[in-house]
Amino acid sequence: MVVIKTGLEKLPEYCEECDWYTCRPHPHRGWTEICELECHCMDDTQPEEWIYDGNGRPKKCPLMEVEGEVNG
């Protein structure tokens, strides 16, 4: 697991609210949604845990809250 400190005040509820969400043209499928944090496509050709349907975040979203200090 990799933990990074961000300036996020709260976790986004939807991908569109996330700084790492982008939508780009794809040469064969039209537009595709991308999680730039994971460099992963989130369209319906992906495994179920990565599909983003506009509700919440995908099950594989790497964002989570960590309480306290993380020492490594």
pLDDT, tens digit, 9 for 90 and up, residues 27-36: 888 899 999 9
Strand order in the sheet with 40-41: 21-26, 30-35, 40-41
Residue 35 backbone zone (phi > 0: left; psi -120 to 50: alpha; other: beta): beta
Q: Is the pLDDT of residue 72 over 60?
A: no
For the chain, what are the domain ranges? 19-60
49 phi and psi angles, rounded to 5 deg: -70, -10
With cut-offs at 50, 70 and 90, classify the pLDDT of residue 1: low
**How do residues 35-67 score in pLDDT, each as one tens digit?**
999 999 998 889 999 999 888 899 999 888 777
Angle at 50 between CA 1 and CA 66, to 5 degrees: 35
pLDDT value of residue 64: 85
